[in-house]
Chain A
Amino acid sequence: MNAPAYNFAYLDEQTKRMIRRAILKAIAIPGYQVPFASREMPMPYGWGTGGVQVTASVLGPDDVLKVIDQGSDDTTNAVSIRKFFAKTAGVRTTTHTTDATLIQTRHRIPETPLTENQILVYQVPIPEPLRFLEPRETETRRLHALADYGLMHVKLYEDIARHGHIATTYAYPVKVDGRYVMDPSPTPKFDNPKMDDCAALQLFGAGREKRIYAIPPHTRVVSLDFEDHPFEASRTPESCALCRADDTFLDEVITDDKGGRLFVCSDSDHCEKRRGAETAA
């Protein structure tokens, strides 16, 4: 039997070059979905294969990697991906946002503002913001080419007409650099403003759908809205039971079967840091 042997960060160098070319193109055309020859990864499609391929392609031996899922470093899939890179690339890993040079995320943007020395890699399930309005790829590509986003505006308008609100709470569509409408991945819309003028490079990888897109540092990212219904970065109006923060995105934890519940920061590193500062003071 031929015993398998694997390269640094799993992917072979040829594949990494192909992915880096796609990333460069994505950076050159902010918000545009670049098709790339996504590989089968040793974890299932839908579990972050796009993000993992992007991370594997930009990761160097000196990088410090942080992986979060739902804002937390200790979520099972975040643990699994962190271990994957610790094993295949031998890079240093961290849970501290400020120590990381590369952060791979699923569904959240860290509460701590990112810097120009950092790259944020998003795992993306469905990269096409128009997909649930138009299932055909041939058609959505044409709509993007023509910057024809009427469908999306009508959808948002119909939400307001029906519910009094835009009924999209996550994966809330944004317009990047005044041109492409982009899916921010299923992050809560609370996180959308963090994408705008962000100092870090933001890369998005969709493995199963074979697309990469990017937001270069300090790019204008605007959440779609209407003048009379401006975008609102909503959060649960509670404060964290652990660190008492009242400006972070919260997870709701059900504590008993009698309606008891408490709220804690979804960003576990941010929460711990605040609690650490408290004890020190």
Chain B
Amino acid sequence: MYVAVKGGERAIDNAHKLLAAARRGDPAVPELTLAQISEQLALAVDRVMAEGSLYDRELAALAVKQARGDLIEAIFLVRAYRTTLPRFGASEPIDTGAMQTRRRISAAFKDLPGGQVLGPTFDYTHRLLDTGLAEGGDAPAPATAPAEPTAMPRVTDLLAEDGLIETFPPGDPAAPVGDLTRAPLTFPAGRDLRLQNLARGDEGFLLALGYSTQRGYGRTHPFAGEIRLGEVEVEFMAEEVGFAVPLGRITVTECQMINQFRGSATEPPQFTRGYGLTFGHGERKAMAMALVDRALRARDLGEERKAPAQDEEFVLSHSDNVQATGFVEHLKLPHYVDFQAELGLIRRMRAEIAAGEDARKEAAE
């Protein structure tokens, strides 16, 4: 009985001590450093930065360590810290067209300006467990070639030049940028807030929803127009000096889906867009996000809405894994007051039914 007696406080303290010991594991095994996590579990750190909405590799690595590798717990740690930070404002939009790319592929064109660059990918590896890795050792040196500074325009920009894909009006630079961490989300939500929600959303949830659109639940006929990974500059408009100053470079993964064309009485047919962006290297998440973004545009595009991925309230209300895990796991908290109330009612109703049956039997006899 863990509450009926005094001692909750000591139990909690002891549980924390035990957790710290379990986190460390066998003290004979060397302790992980943050640099090791950041370098060798880089994709875990990337996911924590993306869904934690905080670009800080060191803090994300610390969170992974503290969470014993539980990434949702690590994301939660980062979020709870991020929320206490002051807001100075919004950066200038990043220019992914000017990205220093490490990887860039298009599934829509065989070749295109800037070329296809495979980069560091699992894609064509055979998923055979590498026993050599268990031994450790140095990785082979990567192949190199002289840098050729070639422009790598975005596929969607190339299509837009010919009017083959919908264009978005350039955003009003004076318009405020929506931020669902500073104002409660209301419905219908603008696309800025939808994208922010998806960018913070759980990879697994978006993956399943994106997958569902491919299996006919809100089909959008997607092509991976382009996926690119690399570094972009972040700039901030400094009012004091009157121009944008660079804050630093961040790694991002961008996915632009090209979807089913549509036309109307007034407009010729055009392809439509779905957009995905993550901090770090997060291709699966970026692609899933692009599929779900496109599915959520159903209302804007006048499409019939009947699949879960097209339902804005459903998707945006359930995408956040920190919220979801908290509410699912709160069922661990004691609920015995409510349960007692239910117990009382069910006993009373059963007694009433039993009394009714007895009365019927007596009447029959």
Footprint of B on A, CB under 8 Å? 1, 4, 6-7, 10-12, 14, 35-42, 44-47, 49, 69-72, 74-80, 83, 106-108, 125, 136-138, 163-165, 167, 169-171, 186-190, 208, 210, 234-236, 249-253, 264, 266
User: A74 near B329 (CB under 8 angstroms)?
Assistant: no
Partner of B181, one of A12, A37, A108: A37
Partner of B337, one of A6, A10, A80, A249: A249
Across the two chains, which residue of chain A brings its CB closest to B62?
A1
Q: Which of B200-240 contact A (CB under 8 A)?
A: none
A contact residues around B185 at 8 Å (CB) = 210
B contact residues around A47 at 8 Å (CB) = 326, 330, 333
B contact residues around A252 at 8 Å (CB) = 336, 340, 343
Partner of A188, one of B4, B11, B79, B338: B338
Across the two chains, which residue of chain A brings its CB closest to B9?
A79
**In the complex, the 10 A-B pairs of residues with the closest C-beta atoms, listed nearest first:** A45-B326, A46-B330, A44-B326, A169-B341, A46-B327, A35-B184, A188-B341, A210-B184, A40-B83, A46-B326
Q: A1-B59, A45-B326, A47-B333 are in contact. Are A40 and B82 (CB under 8 A)?
A: yes
CB A30 to nearest CB in B, in angstroms, measures 20
Across the two chains, which residue of chain A brings its CB closest to B82?
A40
Across the two chains, which residue of chain A brings its CB closest to B328?
A46
CB B89 to nearest CB in A, in angstroms, measures 14
The 0/1 profile, CB within 8 Å of A marked 1, for residues 124-159 of chain B is 000000000000000000000000000000000000
Across the two chains, which residue of chain A brings its CB closest to B186?
A35
User: A76 near B337 (CB under 8 angstroms)?
Assistant: no
CB A77 to nearest CB in B, in angstroms, measures 5
Q: How far is the CA of A234 from the CA of B340 in the complex (A)?
A: 11
- Residue count of chain B within 8 Å CB distance of chain A: 54
CB B198 to nearest CB in A, in angstroms, measures 18
A contact residues around B317 at 8 Å (CB) = 137
B342: interface (CB < 8 Å): yes
Q: How far is the CA of A162 from the CA of B227 in the complex (A)?
A: 57
User: B338 near A83 (CB under 8 angstroms)?
Assistant: no
CB-defined A-B contacts under 8 Å, sample of 23: A39-B181, A40-B82, A40-B83, A40-B181, A41-B83, A45-B327, A45-B330, A72-B3, A74-B9, A76-B2, A79-B8, A106-B333, A107-B337, A165-B349, A169-B338, A169-B344, A169-B345, A186-B337, A188-B340, A190-B341, A208-B327, A249-B337, A266-B337
User: A234 near B341 (CB under 8 angstroms)?
Assistant: yes
CB B310 to nearest CB in A, in angstroms, measures 14
B322: interface (CB < 8 Å): yes
User: B333 near A80 (CB under 8 angstroms)?
Assistant: no
Q: How far is the CA of A72 from the CA of B8 in the complex (A)?
A: 11
Across the two chains, which residue of chain B brings its CB closest to A189?
B341
B247: interface (CB < 8 Å): no
User: A169 near B337 (CB under 8 angstroms)?
Assistant: no
User: A37 near B341 (CB under 8 angstroms)?
Assistant: no
CB B276 to nearest CB in A, in angstroms, measures 23
CB B5 to nearest CB in A, in angstroms, measures 8
